[in-house]
C-alpha cells in the first residue's frame, strides 16, 4: 500500500481506534479517556493537513477494497471530500474539548465518548466515500452511532426524541438504499466521478433516473432536514449541547447536505441533472425549507429549539447553492457548508453555556445574560449576525455568492428568497441579542451551577471553544478572498467541477 492509499485510512482510523478503546475503559479513567480523545482529534488534524497540502498540489488519494464481486469499498480524498473532512475534524476537536467540560461529573461518559468517536469516524468515512455503496455504509453507521448520543440522558423526553430521530433516519436510509440498488441494477456499481456517470445510460433510462434521483435525494434529504422531512431535528434538540453541535454543525445534517452535493455533481453530473430538469425542483424544495424553517424558528421560546429550526433553514442554503446551475452558486453552497458549521456550532456552544452555567434554557430567560456572561454572549452575537448575513461575518459571504449565483443562473427569484430568509433570521436572532445586552438582569438565575470568577464567567473548557469558533466566523468573513479561506477551497472545487 502506498502513502496515498494509507492516508485516507489513517484519517478514519484516528477516531475509530480511540473510540473502540474508550468503550472498554472504566468510567473513572477520565485522564486517559480525555488524552485518547485529544490524541485522536489532533492526529486526525495532522493527517487532514497532509491531505490538504497534497490535494492543493494536485495529488490524488484513494483506496479500494473489493467486498463482494461487483461491490467495492472505495475511498477517495478529493477536494470536495476534504472540505467536509476538514470541517468535521476541526470542529470535532473543539467539540471534544467542550464535551469534556460539559459532561464533567455526569455518568456514562465512556459510552458517550465512544459513540462520539464512532460518529466522527462515520462522518469522515462518508465524506471520503468514493461510491454510493461506501457512502451508504457510513451513512447508516452515522445514524446508529448518533442515536445513543441523542438519548444519552435517558429521560422519557430524550427517548421520545431519539425514537423520532431513528424512525426518520432509518426510513431515509431505506429510501437511499432503494435508490442505490435500483441504480446498481441499471449500471452496476456507481462511482463518484466528476461530471457524473449515469448520463451514459442514454435517453431510454431518463424516466427511471428521475425516480431514482427523487429516492436518493429524499434519502439524504432526511438528514439534511429538507421540508417535509425535517421533523426529527427539532425533536433531537433534547440531546446534550455537544451532541447538538455534532448534529447541527459537525456531522449529521452536513452528511445529508454533502450527500446532495455528491449525488448532483458526481452521480448525475450537474449538466445532466440540469438537462433532466431536476435542479429547479431541488431549488424550490430548498427555498421552501429555507423560509419555512425560519418561520417556525420565530415562534420557539426554547433556545435550542429555535436554533434547531434555524438549522433546518440554513442547511438548505447548501442544497440551494448546488441547485443553482453555474460555478458561482456552487461556490456559495459549498462555502456555506463550512460557514454554517462554524456559525451554528458557536450558537450551540453558547446555548450550552447558558444552560450549564445559569440554568437558562429559554429565550425569555436570557434577559441581561450579556452582563453576566459577556464573552459567551459576544460569541453568540457574532454568530447570530453571521446567520442574518451581516458583513463582515462568514454568513454574508455565503449569501452574497448564492445571490450572485442565482442571478448568473437566471433565477432572480432566489434573491427574494434570500431577502425573506434574512429578514426572518433577523426577526428571530435580534430579539435574543436585545435581551442579552439591553435588558436588565434578573434578581436570580434559574439555576446557577457555575459561579463567575473575575472575568471567567464559566468553566475554561466551555468558554474557549465558542470564542475560537466565533473568531473563525469573523476571520472567514473578513479574509474570505485569501487563498486559505473556505471560500477559496470552494472555488477550487467549483473550478474542477465545471471545467470538465
Given the rule CB under 8 A, which residues bind other proteins? Answer: 385, 389-392, 396-397, 399-400, 403-404, 407-408, 412, 415-416, 418-419, 422-423, 426, 430, 438, 477-482
User: Angle 109-128/3-24 helices, nearest 10 degrees?
Assistant: 160
Rounded least distance, CB 298 to other proteins, Å: 12
CA torsion 343-421-437-456 (nearest 10°) is -10
Cα(209)–Cα(203) distance, integer angstroms: 10
For residues 165 and 385, which CB has a smaller minimum distance to other proteins in the complex?
385
**Closest by Cα among 470, 377, 474, 468 to 429:** 377
Q: Would you give the end-to-end CA distance of the chain in angstroms?
A: 30
Q: Which residues, including other chains, have CB under 8 Å from residue 14's CB and lie 6 or more apart?
A: 40, 43, 44, 47
Burial status of residue 482 (CB atoms within 10 A of its CB: 0-12, 13-18, 19 or more): exposed
As given in the structure block, the three cell numbers for residue 477 are 468573513
Q: Quick one: how many helices (H) and strands (E) in the chain?
A: 20, 2
For residues 62 and 392, which CB has a smaller minimum distance to other proteins in the complex?
392
Largest CA distance in the chain: 72
For residues 25 and 471, which CB has a smaller minimum distance to other proteins in the complex?
471
Burial status of residue 331 (CB atoms within 10 A of its CB: 0-12, 13-18, 19 or more): buried
* Contact in structure between 92 and 85 (CB atoms under 8 Å): no
For residues 41 and 388, which CB has a smaller minimum distance to other proteins in the complex?
388
Rounded least distance, CB 149 to other proteins, Å: 31
For residues 35 and 423, which CB has a smaller minimum distance to other proteins in the complex?
423
Rounded least distance, CB 234 to other proteins, Å: 17
Rounded least distance, CB 293 to other proteins, Å: 18
Rounded least distance, CB 426 to other proteins, Å: 5
Cα(308)–Cα(428) distance, integer angstroms: 12
For residues 131 and 314, which CB has a smaller minimum distance to other proteins in the complex?
314
For residues 250 and 390, which CB has a smaller minimum distance to other proteins in the complex?
390
Rounded least distance, CB 282 to other proteins, Å: 21
Rounded least distance, CB 420 to other proteins, Å: 9
Amino acid at each position: 500500500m502506498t502513502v496515498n492509499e494509507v492516508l485516507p485510512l489513517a484519517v478514519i482510523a484516528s477516531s475509530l481506534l480511540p473510540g473502540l478503546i474508550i468503550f472498554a475503559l472504566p468510567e473513572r479513567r477520565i485522564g486517559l479517556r480525555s488524552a485518547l480523545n485529544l490524541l485522536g482529534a489532533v492526529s486526525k488534524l495532522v493527517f487532514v493537513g497532509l491531505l490538504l497540502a497534497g490535494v492543493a498540489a494536485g495529488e490524488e488519494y484513494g483506496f479500494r477494497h473489493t467486498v463482494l464481486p461487483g461491490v467495492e469499498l472505495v475511498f477517495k480524498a478529493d477536494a470536495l471530500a476534504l472540505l467536509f473532512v476538514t470541517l468535521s475534524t476541526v470542529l470535532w476537536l473543539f467539540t471534544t474539548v467542550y464535551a469534556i467540560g460539559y459532561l464533567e461529573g455526569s455518568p456514562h461518559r465512556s459510552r458517550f465518548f465512544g459513540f462520539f468517536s464512532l460518529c466522527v469516524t462515520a462522518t469522515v468515512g462518508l465524506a471520503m466515500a468514493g461510491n454510493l455503496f461506501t457512502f451508504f455504509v457510513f451513512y447508516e453507521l452515522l445514524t446508529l452511532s448518533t442515536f445513543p448520543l441523542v438519548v444519552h440522558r435517558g429521560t422519557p423526553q430524550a427517548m421520545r426524541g431519539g425514537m423520532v430521530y431513528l424512525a426518520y433516519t432509518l426510513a431515509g436510509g431505506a429510501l437511499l438504499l432503494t435508490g442505490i440498488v435500483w441504480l446498481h441494477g441499471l449500471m452496476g456499481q456507481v462511482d463518484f466521478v466528476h461530471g457524473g456517470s449515469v448520463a451514459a445510460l442514454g435517453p431510454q433510462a431518463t424516466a427511471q433516473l428521475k425516480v431514482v434521483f427523487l429516492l436518493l435525494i429524499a434519502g439524504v434529504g432526511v438528514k439534511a432536514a429538507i421540508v417535509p422531512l425535517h421533523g426529527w431535528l427539532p425533536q433531537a434538540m433534547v440531546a446534550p449541547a455537544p451532541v447538538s453541535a455534532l448534529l447541527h454543525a459537525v456531522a449529521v445534517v452536513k452528511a445529508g447536505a454533502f450527500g446532495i452535493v455528491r449525488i448532483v455533481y458526481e452521480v448525475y453530473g450537474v449538466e445532466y441533472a440540469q438537462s433532466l430538469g431536476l435542479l429547479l425542483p431541488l431549488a424550490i424544495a430548498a427555498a421552501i425549507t429555507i423560509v419555512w424553517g425560519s418561520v417556525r424558528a420565530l415562534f420557539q421560546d426554547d433556545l435550542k429549539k429555535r436554533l434547531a429550526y434555524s438549522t433546518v433553514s440554513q442547511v438548505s442554503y447548501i442544497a440551494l447553492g448546488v441547485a443553482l446551475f453555474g460555478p458561482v452558486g456552487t461556490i456559495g453552497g459549498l462555502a456555506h457548508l463550512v460557514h454554517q458549521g462554524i456559525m451554528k456550532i458557536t450558537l450551540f456552544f453558547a446555548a450550552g453555556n447558558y444552560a450549564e452555567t445559569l440554568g437558562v434554557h429559554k429565550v425569555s430567560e436570557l434577559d441581561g445574560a450579556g452582563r453576566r456572561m459577556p464573552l459567551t454572549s459576544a460569541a453568540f452575537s457574532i454568530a447570530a449576525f453571521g446567520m442574518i448575513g451581516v458583513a463582515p461575518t462568514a454568513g454574508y459571504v455565503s449569501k452574497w455568492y448564492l445571490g450572485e449565483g442565482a442571478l448568473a443562473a437566471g433565477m432572480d427569484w432566489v434573491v427574494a428568497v434570500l431577502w425573506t430568509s434574512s429578514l426572518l433570521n433577523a426577526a428571530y436572532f435580534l430579539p435574543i441579542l436585545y435581551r442579552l445586552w439591553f435588558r436588565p438582569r434578573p434578581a436570580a438565575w434559574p439555576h446557577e451551577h457555575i459561579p463567575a470568577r473575575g472575568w471567567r464567567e464559566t468553566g475554561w473548557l466551555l468558554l474557549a471553544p465558542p470564542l475560537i469558533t466565533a473568531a473563525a466566523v469573523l476571520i472567514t468573513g473578513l479574509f474570505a478572498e485569501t487563498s486559505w479561506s473556505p471560500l477559496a477551497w470552494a472555488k477550487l472545487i467549483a473550478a474542477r467541477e465545471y471545467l470538465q
